[in-house]
């Protein structure tokens, strides 16, 4: 094998008459390098986008939620205790979910009311990182004689309110009076803003304490469900099934994958599509490898004939040119990996590419390099380069030494 490797590398070096062949070899290396670099950077950015999106979604919504077929349920403390005993569960907190209207000085908007337990919500959600100007625990306190509320940043812009202002919440379900059912209204003091970075959440969420939500919506001592945190997001579906089995009827569970199935399926499809498209750049480099080897075989036909007459087998001749093309592919892949990982490091550390925050919810390109992607890209580039060597190498091994030397 050393003999074949030695000749393969020697044929890559240019003599005065073969400079053009070496130029094409360099172009081949550059083609593979550019393709690998583009694949590493694009896949890493898409991984970063997915991780950033997951962080924001799971900061507002828990990985698993427990609901009841009968709607709101009581004795939720007992349910939480049973849930926390399931293997893989690291925290649980009750929540109330309802649709309301918010009003301020003639500005009205629909919103989603989220009642949370300030004492336990921190063990499940990362709301504390998203609340600006106050803490989640402030929801248990009054401000100026009024109960407190935290409003989404974009929703606050829509109805022109700021921290310290008074906000009126209106429940469409209302309360029952002798004159019939009328909307239930109550004034609240805004103590902070909620900024998750997701426009859909920031334009609709209103947070109050769970006790206040029960009183405002007239639910008594009932909650909509229990939010659950797990120690392994990839096993959330399995843990959700274990929770449902432990609780039994009438409780049922949903995990974050089921709740965001369409979104993450689209991201996965986009990643696969980008991988296929950018692999075409590597194919361009592979076509150049074929061109290089074909020209080298034509140039070295006399050398091949002499080697055959000296007893070199057809398999060794084929190995010489396969190793030559494979060297080009491996070298291009290694250089491309170096450039790709280096560029990802620079993007992650210095964030020199900025995005308009008023158009996108992210201001810089998020980068997350996954080892699986690096290995897959490397193997794909080397495999494509190897396949490109097969025909020229096979053709070289089939040359007839008599015909090659007939007119020499």
pLDDT, tens digit, for every residue of 229-249? Answer: 999 888 999 999 999 999 988
Q: Which residue has the higher pLDDT, 130 or 297?
A: 130
Residue with tokens 């009311």: 113
pLDDT band at 384 (very low <50, low <70, confident <90, very high): very high
Residue ranges covered by each domain of the chain: 2-57+263-405, 70-248
pLDDT band at 43 (very low <50, low <70, confident <90, very high): very high
The span from the CA of 392 to the CA of 111, in Å, is 67
pLDDT band at 287 (very low <50, low <70, confident <90, very high): confident
Residue 289 has pLDDT above 60, yes or no: yes
Q: Give the pLDDT score at 94.
A: 95
Residue 180 has pLDDT above 70, yes or no: no
383-400 mean pLDDT: 87
Whole-structure pTM value? 0.81
7-36 mean pLDDT: 74
Q: How confident is the model over 136-152, as pLDDT tens digits?
A: 988 988 888 899 999 99
274-302 mean pLDDT: 84
**Cross-strand pairs, 176:** 181
Instruction: Give the phi and the psi of residue 366 in degrees, each rounded to 5.
Output: -80, 140
Residue with tokens 């921290």: 163
Q: Give the pLDDT score at 395.
A: 86
Q: What percent of the chain has pLDDT over 70?
A: 90
- Give strand ranges (E) for 105-179: 107-116, 131-132, 142-143, 146-152, 166-177
β-strand pairing of 205-209 with 146-152: antiparallel
The span from the CA of 80 to the CA of 164, in Å, is 34
**Cross-strand pairs, 107:** 104
pLDDT band at 16 (very low <50, low <70, confident <90, very high): very low
Which of 22-31, 37-46, 160-169, 205-214 shows the lowest mean pLDDT across its residues?
A: 22-31
Q: Give the pLDDT score at 313.
A: 83
Burial (CB count within 10 angstroms: exposed 0-12, middle 13-18, buried 19+), residue 78: exposed
Tell me the DSSP string of 53-64: HHHHHHHHS-SE
The span from the CA of 147 to the CA of 134, in Å, is 14
pLDDT band at 116 (very low <50, low <70, confident <90, very high): very high
Residue 328 in tokens:
């080009």
Q: Which residue has the higher pLDDT, 244 or 313?
A: 244
User: Is residue 374 within a helix (H) or strand (E), and if so which, with residue range?
Assistant: helix 371-397
Burial (CB count within 10 angstroms: exposed 0-12, middle 13-18, buried 19+), residue 136: buried
pLDDT band at 33 (very low <50, low <70, confident <90, very high): very high
**Cross-strand pairs, 104:** 107
List, in order, residues 6 or more apart from 199 with CB less than 8 Å away. 154, 361
Residue 283 has pLDDT above 50, yes or no: yes
Q: How confident is the model over 362-383, as pLDDT tens digits?
A: 768 889 999 999 999 999 999 9
Burial (CB count within 10 angstroms: exposed 0-12, middle 13-18, buried 19+), residue 401: middle
User: Is residue 89 within a helix (H) or strand (E), and if so which, with residue range?
Assistant: strand 89-104
Residue with tokens 């449902």: 244
């Amino acid at each position: 094998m050393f003999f074949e490797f030695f000749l393969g590398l020697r044929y890559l070096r240019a003599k005065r008459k073969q400079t053009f062949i070496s130029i094409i070899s360099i172009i081949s290396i550059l083609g593979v390098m550019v393709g690998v670099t583009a694949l590493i950077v694009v896949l890493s950015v898409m991984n970063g986008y997915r991780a950033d999106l997951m962080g924001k979604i799971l900061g507002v919504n828990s990985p698993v939620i427990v609901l009841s077929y009968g709607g709101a349920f009581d004795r939720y403390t007992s349910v939480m205790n049973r849930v926390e005993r399931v293997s893989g569960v690291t925290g649980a907190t009750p929540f109330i979910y309802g649709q309301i209207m918010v009003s301020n000085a003639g500005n009205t908007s629909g919103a989603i009311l989220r009642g949370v337990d300030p004492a336990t919500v921190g063990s499940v959600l990362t709301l504390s990182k998203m609340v600006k100007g106050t803490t989640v625990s402030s929801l248990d306190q009054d401000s100026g004689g009024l109960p407190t509320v935290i409003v989404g940043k974009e929703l606050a812009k829509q109805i022109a309110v700021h921290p310290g202002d008074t906000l009126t919440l209106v429940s469409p379900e209302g309360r029952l009076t002798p004159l019939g059912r009328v909307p239930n209204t109550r004034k609240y003091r805004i103590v902070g803003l909620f900024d998750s970075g997701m426009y859909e959440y920031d334009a609709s969420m209103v947070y109050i304490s769970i006790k206040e939500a029960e009183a405002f919506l007239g639910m008594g001592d009932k909650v909509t469900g229990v939010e659950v945190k797990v120690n392994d997001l990839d096993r959330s579906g399995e843990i959700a099934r274990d929770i449902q089995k432990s609780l039994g009827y009438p409780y049922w569970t949903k995990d974050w994958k089921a709740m965001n199935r369409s979104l993450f399926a689209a991201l996965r499809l986009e990643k696969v599509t980008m991988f296929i498209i950018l692999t075409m750049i590597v194919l361009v480099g592979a076509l150049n490898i074929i061109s290089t080897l074909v020209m080298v075989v034509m140039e070295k036909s006399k050398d091949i004939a002499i080697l055959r007459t000296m007893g070199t087998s057809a398999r060794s001749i084929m190995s010489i040119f396969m190793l030559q093309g494979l060297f080009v592919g491996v070298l291009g892949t290694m250089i491309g990996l170096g450039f790709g990982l280096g560029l990802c490091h620079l993007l992650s550390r210095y964030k020199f590419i900025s995005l308009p925050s008023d158009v996108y919810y992210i201001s810089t390109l998020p980068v997350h390099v996954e080892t699986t992607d690096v290995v897959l890209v490397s193997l794909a580039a080397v495999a494509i380069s190897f396949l490109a060597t097969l025909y020229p190498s096979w053709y070289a091994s089939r040359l007839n030494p008599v015909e090659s030397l007939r007119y020499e």
